[in-house]
Amino acid sequence: MPRLPKAARDLLSDNGLKEKDMRVLAVLDGHWKTPGQIGEEAGMGMRAVGACLARLVVVQPAVVSVQFAGWKAKNRGNMMEGKYEYRIRVVGTRLLALFEQTRTEAT
């Protein structure tokens, strides 16, 4: 794994994480974001996304795929499980679009 920029390492450290157990990081307007922050931008609750295990997968040079696996949230007393995938288009350090939000029910 390539070494992360200092700002990213600092963000991981501030959240009690190490590079080897990186959950997800993305650059938004020049700032590194955690899963909870990305979730807030996507309109998902901080608690739901913050509890996710996630990873960053580079699909193309300008496209980053963020996968949240094992997402759980209580909804009217029912436990829902699913997998959310957000494809985040990044050009330079600016987040241009959050698109292709999908949800797959757990079987």
* Mean pLDDT, range 22-28, rounded to an integer: 45
Supply 15's token pair. Answer: 């959240």
- In the chain, the largest separation of any two C-alpha atoms, in whole Å, equals 43
Burial class (CB in 10 A: 0-12, 13-18, 19+), 107: exposed
pLDDT in tens, 48-70: 443 333 333 333 333 444 444 33
pLDDT at 22 over 50: no
Residue 1 lies in a domain: no
Structural domain range at position 86:
6-12+22-105
φ, ψ at 12 (rounded to 5°): -60, -50
Q: What is the pLDDT of residue 71?
A: 37
The verdict on residue 31 lying in a domain is yes
| Backbone phi and psi for residue 7, each to the nearest 5 degrees, phi listed first | -60, -40
Kindly state whether residue 33 falls inside one of the protein's structural domains.
Answer: yes
Phi-psi region of 28 (alpha: psi -120 to 50; beta: other; left: phi over 0): beta
More confident residue, 11 or 83: 11
Q: Considering its fold, how many domains does the chain have in total? A: 1
- The answer to whether residue 89 sits within a structural domain is yes
Question: Which residue type does 52 have?
Answer: C
In a domain, 17, yes or no: no
Q: How far apart are alpha carbons 55 and 36 in whole angstroms?
A: 13
Output DSSP code: residue 66: E
